[in-house]
Amino acid sequence: MAVKALKAYKFDAADTQDKFHGNQLLYVGWDKHLMFCAPFAFALPSTTRFGDLCDKILSKSFGYHPDWAKVDLAKAVWKKSGQPWQPDMNKTLAELGLKHKDALRFETPGLNGIQGSCS
């Protein structure tokens, strides 16, 4: 059922980048691994190297999944805001053009969750 607003919403967003003490939000989700039902939201400096995000942050967040030990993020298939995207592990978030509240998803070919269940 469609919903139509009676009037325009006019208010300042509560999650603008200036409220994150020099950090920006970055959402990261792992496709076909619904043990994590939604992307993680990370507040990171734009100077964070993408390789550090993968090695130090994503490994702690997704590392509880049994598939994680087999993951090679250098071979992962990445999407940025739903479009194919190829990160450079040596560049920073800013150098890669990642902005506040951007969404990344990655797929790990051959890894499809616990016993292939996508969970």
Position 26 in a domain: yes
Tens of pLDDT, residue by residue over 55-103, are 999 999 999 999 999 999 989 999 999 999 999 999 999 999 999 999 9
* Token reading at 104: 């990344």
> Which domain CATH number covers 37?
3.10.20.560
Alpha carbon of residue 94 to chain centroid: 15
- The beta-strand segments (E) located in the chain are 23-30, 40-45, 77-80, 83-85, 102-107
Residue ranges making up the domain that contains 34: 21-114
Tens of pLDDT, residue by residue over 12-48, are 888 999 999 999 999 999 999 999 999 999 999 999 9
Helical H runs in 39-96?
A: 50-52, 59-62
pLDDT of res. 54:
96
Position 10 in a domain: no
Position 41 in a domain: yes
Amino acid identity, position 35: M
Q: Residue 114: what are its φ and ψ, rounded to 5°?
A: -60, 115
Please, which residues bridge with residue 104 across strands?
A: 28, 80
Position 92 in a domain: yes
Position 95 in a domain: yes
Position 12 in a domain: no
Sorted by sequence, the CB contacts under 8 Å of residue 86 that are 6+ apart come out as 78
Position 2 in a domain: no
Sorted by sequence, the CB contacts under 8 Å of residue 47 that are 6+ apart come out as 92, 93, 94
How many angstroms separate the Cα of 76 from the Cα of each of 2, 89, 107? 38, 12, 6
Q: How many domains does the chain have?
A: 1
Position 1 in a domain: no
The answer to whether the CB of 97 falls within 8 A of the CB of 51 is no
